[in-house]
Amino acid sequence: MCGRFAATSPGDELAAMFKVQTPGHHLGANYNVSPATDVYGVCIDNGGEEQAFERKIEVFSWGLTAKWSQPNSRQKRLINARAETVDTKTSFAQAFRSRRCIIPADGFYEWKATDASDGKKVAKQPMYIFRSDRELLCMAGIWESRPEQSGETQTISFAILTTAANRFMSDIHDRMPVVLPQSAWDEWLDPRNSDVARLKQMLLPAPGALFEAHPVDAKVGNPRNNGPELIAPLA
């Protein structure tokens, strides 16, 4: 699964990268994105016209909430969706067919099981995983919108799609986020594309050569901690 990631790019940089307008809402750099946190994501805005499909940057809340759930309910947020079953699970299937997004991230965290010093317990070492070329990871996501209790605004929530680990990641964890190459962005985002078989072909593990990783401080496990020191390698 993916339960923490870093998203530090400002809106204007993302707008240039995805060739869209700069978002009106400002989000600061976040080195410890946790569930229920707001982040930038890219989706399609059709403007209500068949031929007006264009990319846009939205502010998304991490943790998918179903359309049928009540506003401000305590229903569990769904932060990940498995690529193998995303098209059949009731909570995800409709969004997978027509509401897909891209979540840009500097990198993500995963906890690697290691032998404890006492030889009895299994310890968990947090690892930071990122692209070798330091470019952003463009994680595949699905989204839902739901009106707030006032009915005046919408909350847009998302889940990150995960797949089996590639050879590099398998030494750290058995799952990893789906990372999309730039060549797949348009096809993935297009809400008119409901070819499930083709979409699922895009949910394969990214090549292991794309990634690097290093151990980081355990304080990343506390969502109240935030700052560039969280992604720094341990001495």
pLDDT given for residue 217 in this prediction: 96
Please give the residue that has the higher pLDDT: either 118 or 105.
Answer: 105
Token pair, residue 21, equals: 């307008």
The CA distance from 68 to 224, in Å, is: 31
In terms of Cα–Cα distance, which of 184, 210, 223, 212 is closest to 42? Answer: 184
Q: Where are the beta strands (DSSP E) in the chain?
A: 5-7, 30-33, 38-45, 54-62, 80-82, 100-105, 107-115, 122-131, 137-147, 154-164, 175-177, 211-215
- In this prediction, residue 24 has a pLDDT band, given cuts at 50, 70 and 90, of confident
Bigger pLDDT: 119 vs 19? 19
The pLDDT assigned to 76 comes to 78
Give pTM, 2 decimals. 0.91
- What is the domain extent for residue 184? 5-231
The count of C-alpha atoms lying within 13 angstroms of the C-alpha of 85, restricted to the half-sphere facing its C-beta, is 6
**Single-letter code of the amino acid located at 154:** Q
Strand partners, 214: 128
| Catalytic residue list | 2, 110
Mean pLDDT confidence for 5-12: 97
Average pLDDT score, the chain? 90
Judge contact between 145 and 154, C-beta under 8 A. Answer: yes
pLDDT at 154 over 90: no
41-55, 107-121, 181-195: range with highest mean pLDDT: 181-195
Question: How many domains in the chain?
Answer: 1
Question: Residues 41-96: pLDDT tens digits?
Answer: 999 976 555 556 789 999 999 999 876 555 555 567 899 999 999 999 999 999 99
Percent share of the chain, pLDDT over 90: 78
Q: Give the H/E segment covering residue 27.
A: none
Pseudo-torsion of CA 11, 107, 76, 99, nearest 10°?
A: 60
Q: Compute the distance between CA of residue 137 and CA of residue 180 in angstroms, rounded to an integer.
A: 8
Q: Which two tokens stand for residue 40?
A: 């930038």
CATH number at residue 152: 3.90.1680.10
pLDDT digits (tens, 9 = 90+) for 200-219: 999 999 999 999 999 999 99
Dihedrals φ, ψ of 96, to 5°? -60, -35
